[in-house]
Structure 1
């Protein structure tokens, strides 16, 4: 009665998404040995960026890569036609200028099957099956890959939807609790995109993959959720805080950790992937590498995600107008960060942000404050 073994039973467990992708790929290769790679790219409409997210296998032609979706005519055609795309000879893209196309060719992939992912009718990203062989994606294989593709899409969408639901819930709660003109949506958009730039730049040194960089980006806007629990008399005080008031303000990091745990429990997201990144950002984004921060953590004790958010948040605060200050120029803000690199801020994170100055300025243009914030 119980002799049958469900080959996908592992997907019911608590495996991280990359391991689930690897599991499905392994089972798929038992039937279609020519499928050499599975990869997922996710789309963010606000910035029109298509970004690498997870993949199977050790070797990947693309890592920590993003590109404007509007610049990829071949991928846009998939959405226009409304069907997946089969290319059984990738040599047809031999002279294509796009970085991702050249990279696929350089790794000797010869054919591909690309499926768009949708959530409630909205475009979510792409799922790619690649092979080192030509002319292998025939109708018999595609019929099976359609089923596997939709299964993988559901796995990705389920994980990302849970994360985005949490982020949206926290943002809503924060907005309802405190209508602050100095924490606008544009501020959060800018600093989270700065955080992603920094994370991708230091990724190799700190062993951050595409998935971790994405979660740092998603969670960074929630760094100050603990301020919900700080009285407005302190939070909105225009002058310098007293020593006692500052101690109360410092408590927002601990309150943030408590709020995160409560919301994860209430939303049934206790097993949310990488929830530790979210906690670390909320708890430790005011630490300093020399130990002079809120709770005295030093260089090695501070998680890299907290170091990244600290630089991103302070840079945007410096270069933004506030009721009590004018916006600094980028040059002045960079100079200040450099002067405190290695003491207050992580040197690698400061150098990473400055190195990506052109992209920083593009973010500032895209998410510029209007008079209403």
Structure 2
């Protein structure tokens, strides 16, 4: 395992506690999917299961899930004590049936007027969610809702604070637009692909996605004459450019302090992404010359995602590389600049890479030098 505990561990402990109560021992699965209002997307965030994980992570637009749309709109939980589905259905009902689940309760996580996600309770016992059971579970549903909303509120506050800082500094170009959308989703793709072999949770993957766009926040402190230079940097200019890593850490720490975000979830992931994404697998990177697995996994993931997008994007000083040329470069540098596992993970599904590129195309806006 290359990650620390978090909300998922608390959910698992709570699940164990719930099942100790008479009558509640048949609650076999609890899962939470978050809602991201920026893209109206729903993603599995944390889960706890009795036995092996039965379902693949949920990921898609809210409009793709009419059942969740109805729960979000009405605020009323969906209780289904005899799950049915069309034969061969690939929908949630069919997948639940395939793994032996017979009852489900789906409710929204809603706090102070905002939708934060959905809570899924499942049982392999048909007719499990009777009125007494639903009443007994209500306090736990509220606890889980408060935990999730509290955690996501801190994350949203940090992202909003950084966005404001970028806007105030006139940092408006690819680094706040399509580049960040693409590279963060490449990072998510890599993390999800290596999750089974590295013991990564959906919670870890979610925070890699959320925090990846902040990797270069320190560039707001780099002079425009260097940041926006269309040609190659001089050695002295490159030394100044390299300071964006430590300045980025200073900015993140100041925001956590100034905005009262001391409880920011997985702040270590954020600090590692900002502070270590220019470290190299062979130890030749900066600022600390870390190598191999001494480089935090989240930073190794972001490094591959960031460079791949920088290579395949048009910049004032270069044309866009083809995906094939960029892939060849990453393979050549695997084990040198980049973690070989992360490189292999990104290149394993080029159709997914191309889908991300289609969804988040560049709109010419300004000048930015990525990958430095």
**TM-score scaled by length of structure 1:** 0.88
User: Are the equivalent residues in 1 in contact too, given 2:154–2:263 (CA < 8 A)?
Assistant: no
Runs of 4+ with >4 A deviation? 45-48
Cα RMSD after superposing both structures: 2.2
Cα shift readout 1:204-229 (whole Å, capped 9, x = no counterpart): 22221100000000000000111122
Report the Cα distance in structure 2 between the residues aligned to 1:246 and 1:155, rounded to whole angstroms: 44
Per the alignment, residue 273 of structure 1 pairs with 265
Q: SS in structure 2 opposite 1:127?
A: strand
Distance 1:273 1:63, change over 3 A: farther
> How far off is 1:143 after superposition?
2.6
* Alignment equivalent of 2:78, drawn from 76, 85, 90: 85
Per the alignment, residue 250 of structure 1 pairs with 242
| 1:72 is the counterpart of 2:62 | no
* Alignment equivalent of 1:321, drawn from 314, 330, 336: 314
Cα shift readout 1:82-123 (whole Å, capped 9, x = no counterpart): 421111012x12525226444422321111111022344443
Distance 1:360 1:46, change over 3 A: farther
Distance 1:300 1:336, change over 3 A: same
> How far off is 1:134 after superposition?
0.7
| 1:16 is the counterpart of 2:6 | yes
* Alignment equivalent of 1:62, drawn from 55, 76, 85: 55
Instruction: Write the mapping of 1:156-305 to structure 2, written as runs, cut at 5 A.
Output: 156-294=148-286, 295-305=288-298
User: Are the equivalent residues in 2 in contact too, given 1:223–1:282 (CA < 8 A)?
Assistant: yes
Q: SS in structure 1 opposite 2:182?
A: helix
Report the Cα distance in structure 1 between the residues aligned to 2:131 and 2:93, rounded to whole angstroms: 25
User: Are the equivalent residues in 1 in contact too, given 2:278–2:285 (CA < 8 A)?
Assistant: yes
Distance 1:42 1:313, change over 3 A: same
Report the Cα distance in structure 1 between the residues aligned to 2:98 and 2:116, rounded to whole angstroms: 27
Per the alignment, residue 39 of structure 1 pairs with 31
Report the Cα distance in structure 1 between the residues aligned to 2:283 and 2:336, rounded to whole angstroms: 8
User: Are the equivalent residues in 1 in contact too, given 2:280–2:338 (CA < 8 A)?
Assistant: yes
State how many pairs are aligned: 358
Per the alignment, residue 311 of structure 1 pairs with 304
Per the alignment, residue 98 of structure 1 pairs with 90
> How far off is 1:63 after superposition?
4.7
Cα shift readout 1:316-363 (whole Å, capped 9, x = no counterpart): 111222222222222222222222122111111111111222122111
| 1:362 is the counterpart of 2:361 | no
Per the alignment, residue 153 of structure 1 pairs with 145
Distance 1:60 1:94, change over 3 A: farther
Per the alignment, residue 369 of structure 2 pairs with none
Report the Cα distance in structure 2 between the residues aligned to 1:362 and 1:47, rounded to whole angstroms: 15
User: Are the equivalent residues in 2 in contact too, given 1:226–1:254 (CA < 8 A)?
Assistant: yes
Report the Cα distance in structure 1 between the residues aligned to 2:360 and 2:263, rounded to whole angstroms: 33
Q: SS in structure 2 opposite 1:344?
A: coil
Per the alignment, residue 26 of structure 1 pairs with 16
> How far off is 1:80 after superposition?
5.1
Specify which structure has the bigger relative contact order, considering alpha-carbon pairs within 8 angstroms and separated by 6 or more residues: 2
Distance 1:184 1:257, change over 3 A: closer
Mean Cα deviation higher: 38-47 or 252-261:
38-47
Gaps of 5+ in 2: 367-372
User: Are the equivalent residues in 1 in contact too, given 2:178–2:363 (CA < 8 A)?
Assistant: no
Report the Cα distance in structure 2 between the residues aligned to 1:80 and 1:268, rounded to whole angstroms: 32
Report the Cα distance in structure 1 between the residues aligned to 2:190 and 2:248, rounded to whole angstroms: 23
User: Are the equivalent residues in 2 in contact too, given 1:64–1:200 (CA < 8 A)?
Assistant: no
